[in-house]
Structure 1
């Protein structure tokens, strides 16, 4: 008598489907937050845009505030990988560059690309902060995350002994110039290209800080 051996359950496909569903929901949330504002966006609208049920969103993200945080994580990083921003490969390459002028130029190019991703979303969060406590908390967290990242970068730059300003001033200058506001003014409002903006930003840092 032939015995049938039960195959072990392979959850790989199911995990891949679940991850794709999360990506679809986060993309829908991002687009709706930018298009119509965080406060006016509902879970039902996000579910409809993503092609899933509201129950799926609540089961995965619990509430809209958590969904806002996860959307920001993907927006700032450019993907849904669970890697701290300043430890990503492209950031590590900047941190490893021994020539500080080149390091600042690389940082400026990276910051410009990040500004293009994050600024529409950040402006949506800022616009909702006055009336939505979760948006206000997210705005504070976004600034704090950037400050932490700039603290690491400035410490490493200062350790080379090539700064003409204090470590704290270096950190604060870069932090203040990377929130997306300056990028929006010069690129979106004044029509600069990203390349022109990145070149100007890097040269400005070199002139101010080295």
Structure 2
């Protein structure tokens, strides 16, 4: 009788672990199918079959396809390690050029590890207003970060004729999923090459 509480605790832990693994299986299946056959063409039944679970299990885990896609977006942000970016931005000796290098490295990590997720959210947003808003919010958060960084620089750091908003626009034009995809998939660049070019191009375009 004395071992029952321990057994119950382990049973609870086992159920939690199984539930987490099921959610992970569904998420991995969703990523494969969304990328291979498109968000709109993928049904919840397809997801369930790919993950080896029932349709009600998918709904219980994520609610619907939009809920699952939001979870994938959250995972994408985590995969790029925003805490590393923050640490690099806040290093006392980090000058504007070093901060631009840190930001370019973050974008490289994000697109390298989760570019497919970003693209599918944009695709899904064409028919799902909720996901269109999710995509816009992600872009807006990125812009807000750049505004904060560029606004922290002393006067005279930005290239003559540029204000913070114009600098943010130039950054967004250079460092985005479309540029990354063209250079990697069509031009044969490595992710490291893209990151280096971004760092150098940003410094040329933005800094005095």
TM-score, normalization by structure 2: 0.82
Distance (whole Å) between structure 2 residues aligned to residue 19 and residue 154 of structure 1: 40
Alignment correspondent of 1:186: 183
Q: After superposition, what is the alpha-carbon deviation per residue over 1:1-22, rounded to whole angstroms, capped at 9, x for unaligned?
A: xx74741532333222222222
Q: 1:149 to 1:55 in 2, by over 3 A?
A: farther
Q: After superposition, what is the alpha-carbon deviation per residue over 1:139-176, rounded to whole angstroms, capped at 9, x for unaligned?
A: 323322322333333334x2586333322223232233
Higher deviation after alignment, 88-97 or 137-146? 137-146
Q: 1:7 to 1:175 in 2, by over 3 A?
A: same
Higher deviation after alignment, 121-130 or 175-184? 121-130
Distance (whole Å) between structure 1 residues aligned to residue 166 and residue 143 of structure 2: 12
Higher deviation after alignment, 126-135 or 199-208? 126-135
Alignment correspondent of 1:130: 126
Q: After superposition, what is the alpha-carbon deviation per residue over 1:159-201, rounded to whole angstroms, capped at 9, x for unaligned?
A: 5863333222232322333331111111211111111111110
Q: How does 1:96-175 map to 2 (within 5 A)?
A: 96-97=90-91, 98-156=94-152, 158=153, 162-164=157-159, 165-175=162-172
Alignment correspondent of 1:7: 5
Higher deviation after alignment, 147-156 or 12-21? 147-156
Q: Which runs of 5+ in 1 are unaligned?
A: 80-84
Does the 8 Å CA contact 2:72/2:117 hold for their aligned counterparts? no
Does the 8 Å CA contact 1:108/1:198 hold for their aligned counterparts? yes
Q: Secondary structure at the match of 1:7?
A: helix
Alignment correspondent of 1:208: 205
Higher relative contact order (CA 8 A, sep 6+): 1
What is the number of equivalent residue pairs in this alignment?
Answer: 200
Does the 8 Å CA contact 2:88/2:102 hold for their aligned counterparts? yes
Q: 1:112 to 1:7 in 2, by over 3 A?
A: same
Q: After superposition, what is the alpha-carbon deviation per residue over 1:59-108, rounded to whole angstroms, capped at 9, x for unaligned?
A: 121111111111111123218xxxxx7xx321122212322222222321
Distance (whole Å) between structure 1 residues aligned to residue 145 and residue 30 of structure 2: 26
